[in-house]
Structure 1
Amino acid sequence: MSTSTTTFSVLRLIFLLLLASANANANAGANANTELLTQILSYVNVSASPCHDYYSYACGNWAQIHENDSFMEITGLIDQKVNEKLLMLLTELQEQQSSLQSDSVQAKVLSFFQTCQLASSSTRRGEHYLALAPPNEQIPWPQFQNQSETWDSSKFNWMETLARLQRYGLTNVLFDPNVLPDLTNSSNYLIHLKTPSFEEKNERLGSRTRTKAWLRILGTSPQRATLLAHKVKDLELKVAALVAGQPDENDNADETLTDEYLTVEELEAKIGGQWRKYFETLLGRSVPAEFVVNVDCVAYLKALQELIKEVDRDVVASYIMLRFVSYLQEESMASNEPIACVQDVRRVMELATNLLYEKRFISPDRLRRHQSNLSELFEVLRKQFLKILQTNNLHLASEAVDLLRAKLLNVTINIGNMPQGVDRSSFVDAFYADLHLAGNRDYAADHLRLLEFRTRRWFEQLDRAFNISTYFYISDSDTGMSSTPYYMLRQNVIIVPYGILQRPVFYQDSHDVFKVSLLGFMLSHELMHGFVSGGLIYDFRGNYNELGAEIVLEDKYSSAISCLNRNETEYIDEREADVAGIRLAYDAYFDSDSKFDQSQPSFSTLTLKQLFFLNVAQFFCGDATPDDFEGHDADEMRLRHVLINFAPFAEAYGCRQGSDNMHPANKCRIW
């Protein structure tokens, strides 16, 4: 065979391979688009009018289709997929258990997973937790004192007990300690003391009847439980009254006016109480008199000290105990079913499960593609918002625009909530090196160790400066088992969990309209959290900036907020992020210089704009009740406010201005 013939044969083979690859990609894209569209249309209730009630139209069949599923919305579906994959991974680890090193991250994750499944129910009970976590080393909780003996109240110190339990992550009881970046230097962390909240159900005790029932379960006699339930509820009401009497931070955009930086010595002098001993117990180390904390509730803490003096110590102890048991109930899964135990592991060992998920289900090549795709999408959104800032619809001063531009240009994306600038396997190994689980199938014992470990790592932020290359968020339990993206205000970072980068939210091969309308909207929403009322007060470093705080007071901005809040919401920042986020994602896709594919797709007769809004609606579809939502309004209300304030939606469906519910004449716009 001649050389030219051989060369031709090789070129022909390469051409055929490329053609086959192109056909495969085309088929994958066609399949992805068809699958997505079929799912979206299955939720549509054609008997509803999109111009009258778009939620009923776009999501009307969602509840019926998913009536037998455990999740309530699309993010729950994603979490279920992640849980199922992790269950597969843990099942594989069980088969390899004999070959695992006992001190490896895999072995520790597997150990708690097995304890969750195999521990007896007695090790999950509140009494068992309380026996392992007494008020101090000298006395048990009053309910566990031998009936023949009197509980020695002189040995009870409420601040010491609170500090001991806060080491397990207990917060929001009597006062709320947190570790936050310093307002004026976000690279350094301080303990921040604030008043407790009683707004949500899990932030307070239940009724007196429910409180009495809990006391009975925990071993209190019937007569004593009735009296004690009244007394602990009275204490909580008095504490709530003290909180209500304090200035509302939200009434003052300038946080620095209410915050004080006090040394432990100054704290004791101003408020009273053994604060140095409290912090030493909390942190597990000696604390100098010059140790500085940030306090925004000095008057409240002083009044609290006086109130506690007037209350019987067993009542104070019982109140703290009940709140601790309530917290533990929130922090653990009641079931020992495998999928519930997967969630349990995710809640308390998020960094470990993120690494294991990445190693098992995301190849290095796929991770690079995810990072590239996400980066490209986000850069388009960033570019679009830069154009909006340049237009300056709010007529801001040039210095204010420069502040916002700097913040926007410095937003970063963290995929997987993992440190980005180090070897992740080595980092995670080191992170969990000093975690030692009992491994004796005692659920409460291991659960308490994990809660204490996570809290200790959280407080260790006090001893090191912020470093973006090793940053990841040591999250609370609910965030740890969620796949929804979120924005870290003080770090100026959007965290995108691995789980969200899969169907039905993210299709590698789908049409651009699907990518930008759903994942693009999610990213836009999170990005806008840096540029809404609660975010503007911080600059790109996460430091308080007076110039940013003044933007909220500008006439055009405050008028826009008043417009958005015509139907009052407790979550105005969320509504701002929704309304600004839809505009940003839409403009990024449909802008005249957009690089996205704007050709009418062959797989649907719906216009691109109708497809865009239908896919956005997927984020809000669900069957949850209004009581199921915390931190934002119900999804139906959110979608309504997103669309009634956005004229392109009405244009896409031909809605009549002033006549149709979804097209009111007066629309609100932030940016």
Structure 2
Amino acid sequence: MNHFSASRPAAAASLLLALAGCATTKPTVPAASAPAATPATSAVASSTGGRSINPQDVDRSVSPCEDFFQFSGGNWLKNNPVPAYASSWGPRNLLGDRTQATLKKILEEAAATTSAPKGSNTQKVGDFYASGMDSVGLEKAGLKYLQPELARIAAIKDLKTLQTELARQQTLGTGAFFRAGVGPDRKQSTVYAVNFSQGGLGMPDRDYYLKDDARSKAVRTAYVAYMTNTFKLMGDSEATAAKKAATIVRLETRLAQASKSRVELRDPYASYNKMTVAEANAQFPNINLPAFLAQNKLGAAKEVIIGQPTFFKEVSTMLKQEPLADVKTYMAWQLVSSVPSALPKAYSDEAFRFAQVQSGAKQQAVRWKRMQSATDATLGEAFGQLYVDKAFSPAAKQKALDMVANIKASMADHIQTNTWMSDATKQEALKKLNALRVKIGYPDKWKDYSALNITRESYLKNVLAARQWSYQQNVKKFGGPIDRNEWGMTPPTINAYYNPPMNEIVFPAGYLQPPFFDPEADDAVNYGAIGGVMGHEMTHGFDDQGRQYDSQGNLRDWWTKEDGEQFTQRAAVVGRQYDAFSPLDSVHVNGKLTMGENLADFAGLTIVYGALEKQLQKQYGNGPRPVIDGFTPEQRFFLSWAQLRRTNIRPEALRQQILTDPHSPGQYRTIGPLMNMPQFYQAFGCQPGQKMVRPDAERAVIW
């Protein structure tokens, strides 16, 4: 995905590649590096047009050929500090604020419509949001609506009742021990499979349990405080609460030790371990898979795909070996910590204090923003229909589709003219490109929420009901035809994704708004902005992970041995470049973790630049091209790319991103690809020896 990892239902998480979906000394800009137009191609006078690029944001005291991140948006960075409630700040946040304002109006209107027909989308959306905004009701209810689930955990008396509760926890989406759900079989993408994958951790990454550096210790300490304070809120004494917290850390550390790292999880073959239910049950007997599957309406499954067998062996051992009381404490914590916003304010305050240590945010987002986000995650296609009516015209959809078609044609050109790929592999690559499905704006068929019961009685009851409904919707797919109309994001989402088993790229309407996409802007701006996203998602199908899936979305090696080795060698150059980037003392970008996103940035930008050149040639031929605000179309293309990645970020959040996020920090997403592009050097007159120009021997070239 293009910018950040989106939060997705667990069952879908394994199906989507991360979405992708930013003071120096002030030297005089050398003449050769100044953003001057080439006279032969840019004789048209400047105009005041050019939406989505703001010349005032440019820091002209910095040479574009020395630091394009600072040049393109230095003034903006200086004038847009991170707000107290955020951990980072960039154009996506500004669009997010605008989108939230639109959605807030829709939600408040729905909440005010108390006479909406029962079962209608308006009733469900309005009641869900209203129940979430009822802070008085939340305080009054306390743990009342959670008690039935806590009682189920407390009633566990042996391994059999533990197994029953473990299966129930999956339907509640608490994250206890592991994740299980239904998705396309990655080696047979025309059928659904039951997938099991590692999970069960309360901190964001296994390394926080295993490392003893200062940051890991600080996060661990905050996690223990979060658990201890929450158990005290639930009525435990200080000593009992502290003991429970220590128990949970001990159990989760066992899970962390058995978990694969984020880099290891990037290998799709290693995470594909198909076995019969009987074989899996023999390997992990204490989970009791036959009973688990039957209880969760997957009893017809004869096979399962186990993502990480070593992890599941450890879970099976723990279920038998660990004291039952300790496992019950862990499961109660997984339940409570999955619903803090549905409990009295003190619970969400504790959750935020823990989050603060990771993000550096100074204050919690106001409740309506959190409830808007929760409603989108729960009923996104119900009120997404209303959003689309207000925010996304058919004309905008058509322009976006036209852009994708042009970028797809450019990608085909780059495959055909590729100098290191054999004809056999090229034919398979073109076959995959031609089979690529494109989804723009919103689903052709909207989700049916009729079986989901939402009332104003209790927000917590609504949250748990919605999770159970979502789980049932997921498992109902098993045994049926693949649903190629399904979306993994809601229409208002400001993101995009590539889905390997479906071989599809998806762009929600929320992303197709200014400044990312503006039907009134000139082509250079749109191709540098949303075009860069489109190229990024399209080339995810050919990055180090995506290239392992064929045109039908099957995990299959369609590369010749030599071509595969060539790709790996070229990708390794990108990995080394990003390993060298260091935004903070002793903190380096992880070139292996960010490999897929970096490759999609590299390849995508090259492909889109080719599409823009074709478009400009069609418009202007060999004649002069318009200079707007002093910038040629080519310069505006790169400025548009850069200005949408400018980001101010707190040090805590930056450290967290580097550890857990497959996307590189904004400044390196900006300059990393450009430092390898002769097209950029030419656009800004950059010369060898300047920081934005890599020597030929060190340049990365993929497509």
- Cα displacement (A) at 1:404: 1.0
8 Å CA contact 2:401, 2:440 repeated in 1: no
Change in Cα spacing, 1:286 to 1:394, as seen in structure 2 (3 Å) is closer
Confirm or deny that 1:177 pairs with 2:189: no
* SS of alignment partner, residue 621 of structure 1: coil
After superposing the two structures, state which structure 1 stretch, 71-80 or 482-491, moved more: 71-80
* SS of alignment partner, residue 495 of structure 1: strand
**Partners in 1 of 2:676 and 2:180 — Cα distance?**
39
Within-5 A mapping of 1:279-358: 279-281=293-295, 283=296, 285=297, 287-288=299-300, 291-329=302-340, 337-358=367-388
1:453-476 C-alpha deviation (Å, 9 max, x unpaired): 2222222222421143xx12245x
Residue 646 of structure 2 aligns with which residue?
Answer: 621
8 Å CA contact 1:588, 1:594 repeated in 2: no
Residue 700 of structure 2 aligns with which residue?
Answer: 668
- Cα displacement (A) at 1:255: 4.5
- Select which of 176, 190, 193 maps to 1:190: 193
After superposing the two structures, state which structure 1 stretch, 553-562 or 204-213, moved more: 204-213
- Select which of 539, 553, 574 maps to 2:597: 574
Change in Cα spacing, 1:197 to 1:341, as seen in structure 2 (3 Å) is closer
**Partners in 2 of 1:43 and 1:517 — Cα distance?**
17
- Select which of 201, 205, 223 maps to 2:239: 223
Residue 4 of structure 2 aligns with which residue?
Answer: none
* SS of alignment partner, residue 554 of structure 1: helix
Change in Cα spacing, 1:300 to 1:345, as seen in structure 2 (3 Å) is closer
**Partners in 1 of 2:302 and 2:420 — Cα distance?**
43
Change in Cα spacing, 1:244 to 1:66, as seen in structure 2 (3 Å) is closer
- Select which of 165, 168, 174 maps to 2:169: 165
> Rg larger in 1 or in 2?
1
- Cα displacement (A) at 1:279: 1.9
Residue 546 of structure 2 aligns with which residue?
Answer: 535
- Cα displacement (A) at 1:309: 2.0
Confirm or deny that 1:522 pairs with 2:533: yes
1:313-364 C-alpha deviation (Å, 9 max, x unpaired): 12112122223333334899876643432222112111112212123444xx
**Partners in 2 of 1:210 and 1:220 — Cα distance?**
14
Structure with higher helix content: 1
Q: Which AA in structure 1 matches 2:554?
A: N
* SS of alignment partner, residue 181 of structure 1: strand
Confirm or deny that 1:269 pairs with 2:272: no
* SS of alignment partner, residue 106 of structure 2: helix
- Cα displacement (A) at 1:491: 0.9
Residue 242 of structure 1 aligns with which residue?
Answer: 258
After superposing the two structures, state which structure 1 stretch, 520-529 or 329-338, moved more: 329-338
Confirm or deny that 1:587 pairs with 2:610: yes
Change in Cα spacing, 1:557 to 1:202, as seen in structure 2 (3 Å) is closer
- Select which of 386, 391, 395 maps to 2:421: 395
Query: Which structure has the higher relative contact order (CA within 8 Å, separation 6+)?
Result: 2
Residue 501 of structure 2 aligns with which residue?
Answer: 490
User: What's the Cα RMSD here?
Assistant: 3.2
After superposing the two structures, state which structure 1 stretch, 488-497 or 654-663, moved more: 654-663
In structure 2, runs of 5+ residues without a counterpart are: 1-45, 210-219, 349-363, 580-590
The percentage of aligned residue pairs carrying the same residue is 19
**Partners in 1 of 2:187 and 2:261 — Cα distance?**
28
- Select which of 53, 75, 79 maps to 1:61: 75
8 Å CA contact 1:492, 1:541 repeated in 2: yes
**Partners in 1 of 2:634 and 2:386 — Cα distance?**
39
- Cα displacement (A) at 1:501: 2.0
* SS of alignment partner, residue 510 of structure 2: helix
Residue 411 of structure 2 aligns with which residue?
Answer: 385
**Partners in 2 of 1:255 and 1:596 — Cα distance?**
49
**Partners in 2 of 1:240 and 1:480 — Cα distance?**
35
- Cα displacement (A) at 1:437: 1.2
**Partners in 2 of 1:293 and 1:213 — Cα distance?**
39
Residue 24 of structure 1 aligns with which residue?
Answer: none
8 Å CA contact 1:132, 1:445 repeated in 2: no
1:88-108 C-alpha deviation (Å, 9 max, x unpaired): 22344455543x212211111
- Cα displacement (A) at 1:31: 10
Q: Which AA in structure 2 matches 1:389?
A: I
- Cα displacement (A) at 1:409: 0.7
Q: Which AA in structure 2 matches 1:177?
A: A
Q: Which AA in structure 2 matches 1:605?
A: G
Change in Cα spacing, 1:199 to 1:654, as seen in structure 2 (3 Å) is farther
**Partners in 1 of 2:694 and 2:645 — Cα distance?**
19
After superposing the two structures, state which structure 1 stretch, 572-581 or 194-203, moved more: 194-203
**Partners in 1 of 2:417 and 2:636 — Cα distance?**
28
Change in Cα spacing, 1:91 to 1:209, as seen in structure 2 (3 Å) is closer
After superposing the two structures, state which structure 1 stretch, 55-64 or 348-357, moved more: 55-64
1:184-230 C-alpha deviation (Å, 9 max, x unpaired): 22122111113338696267784334433333233322222222322
1:582-615 C-alpha deviation (Å, 9 max, x unpaired): 1011111124984355743254222222111111
Confirm or deny that 1:501 pairs with 2:517: no
Change in Cα spacing, 1:126 to 1:658, as seen in structure 2 (3 Å) is farther
